[in-house]
Structure 1
Amino acid sequence: MQQAVRTSGALALACHPAPALTVTALAAALAAAAGRTPAAIAGLTAAVLCGQLSVGWLNDLVDADRDAAVGRAGKPIADGRVPRRTAAIATALAAAARSR
């Protein structure tokens, strides 16, 4: 259980949380300002968040070897806190959820 919590936390860091949450919040605010229904706002917000998660994780997966080679700090996939397989599965699930 503790390992799952640690991995989940590291996975959250790997998605580039500040930009992901900023873009998601902006999209939600724009949808609300456009007068969309609460259900439409929720659906759009979920889709944008899933898209942001998948892009962030894929970016870190692609860069993992280079980040590890140069010892770049704060990269949970490169430093092994998130197994690459776990990150790949999370990326695929987020991308699939976004497209629904």
Structure 2
Amino acid sequence: MNKWIAKILQEREKQITKNGYMPEHDDEHTDGSIADAAAHYASHTKSELYPWDKQYNSKEKHSRIEQLVIAGALIVAELERLERANINVDFSQHKSSFGKTADGMIQA
């Protein structure tokens, strides 16, 4: 597995297990805010895309690489949320090495 994919998946696991952002929590964000947060962390410039209370915005305390890993993990969270909601997620025709774990999480 590519080391960056592994780091993104590790960050996603941390978001769930350490920070408590369980799938049920993510499912409440039907407004696209998880994707907005990912765009915020991915942006190289100062971004106003952060969708939640600014006190939780930790972008500035992370290195550029850490910001991109967090952005990747947030994208995974949004993909998982969309998949659980059955919204336009059909990987059956997409040739990819991605699969799912027993608990429904996307894995490389």
Whether TM-score is above 0.5 comes out as: no
TM-score, normalised with respect to structure 2: 0.36
Larger Rg: 1
**Structure having greater relative contact order (Cα 8 Å, sep ≥ 6):** 1
